[in-house]
């Protein structure tokens, strides 16, 4: 499991200074079902906007 997860989306509630993701769990999905051919075909479903 990754020790440090990086995130540049600073309006996510799990974003922390230094572009760190502090979510306890991370959920990534593919645009094409169960497989992706490159990073452009994926999205982070863990994202929650800051209030």
The pLDDT assigned to 51 comes to 85
Mean pLDDT for 36-47 is 95
| Domain count within the chain | 1
**Domain residue limits at 44:** 1-51
Mean pLDDT for 13-37 is 95
- With CA atoms as reference, report the closest residue to 20 among 43, 2, 42, 1: 2
The pLDDT assigned to 13 comes to 97
The pLDDT of residue 1 is above 80: no
Mean pLDDT for 26-34 is 94
Residue 42 DSSP code: E
Q: What percent of the chain has pLDDT over 90?
A: 92
């Amino acid at each position: 499991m990754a020790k440090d997860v990086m995130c540049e989306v600073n309006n996510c509630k799990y974003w922390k200074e230094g572009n760190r993701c502090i979510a306890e769990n991370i959920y990534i999905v593919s645009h094409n079902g169960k497989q992706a051919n490159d990073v452009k075909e994926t999205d982070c479903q863990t994202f929650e906007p800051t209030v």
